């Protein structure tokens, strides 16, 4: 991030020793280290919050895409009609048994009322 070379670092150390003094230099470095640690923690929390917001936005985008794909698939391949969906559009006064008795029997788990064919003898 900061392009600091060895010559610049050496110059900074010499200036720090002259300005602060060798006696107070360890305390000044400790204080600077604490402040740098605090700045790193705050920036880490900020970065995590931003990444979390980006992740949530991506998830919402993916969910929207999946819903659109699901709707396209469902419209291309509609579900088979059941007794309840087959009666949509029937007269409101008609009961399911009156409108489609074979659908009600199949939905109830019973076999349709159709006579079985007899096997042909060969």
How large is the average pLDDT for residues 118-122?
61
Q: Is the pTM of this model over 0.85?
A: no
Return the higher-pLDDT residue of 21 and 111: 21
State percent of the chain over pLDDT 90. 39
Q: What b/e string do you get for 101-120 counting C-beta neighbours within 10 Å, with b at 16 or more?
A: eebbeeeeeeeeeeeeeeee
Both tokens of 115, joined, read 């006579």
**Residue whose token pair is 């949530």:** 56
The half-sphere exposure of 17 on its side-chain side, counting CA atoms within 13 A, is 6
Rounded Cα distance between 64 and 33, Å, is: 46
The chain-wide mean pLDDT, for the chain, equals: 78
Query: pLDDT value at position 63?
Result: 95
pLDDT at 122 over 90: no
């Amino acid at each position: 991030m900061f392009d600091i070379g060895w010559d610049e670092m050496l110059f900074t150390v010499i200036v720090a020793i002259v300005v602060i003094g060798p006696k107070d230099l360890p305390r000044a470095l400790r204080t600077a280290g604490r402040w740098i640690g605090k700045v790193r923690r705050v920036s880490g929390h900020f970065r995590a919050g931003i990444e979390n917001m980006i992740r949530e936005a991506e998830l919402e985008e993916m969910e929207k895409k999946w819903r659109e794909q699901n709707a396209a698939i469902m419209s291309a391949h509609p579900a088979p009609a059941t007794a309840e969906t087959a009666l949509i559009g029937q007269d409101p006064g008609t009961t399911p048994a009156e409108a489609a008795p074979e659908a009600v029997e199949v939905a109830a788990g019973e076999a349709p009322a159709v006579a079985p064919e007899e096997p042909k003898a060969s």
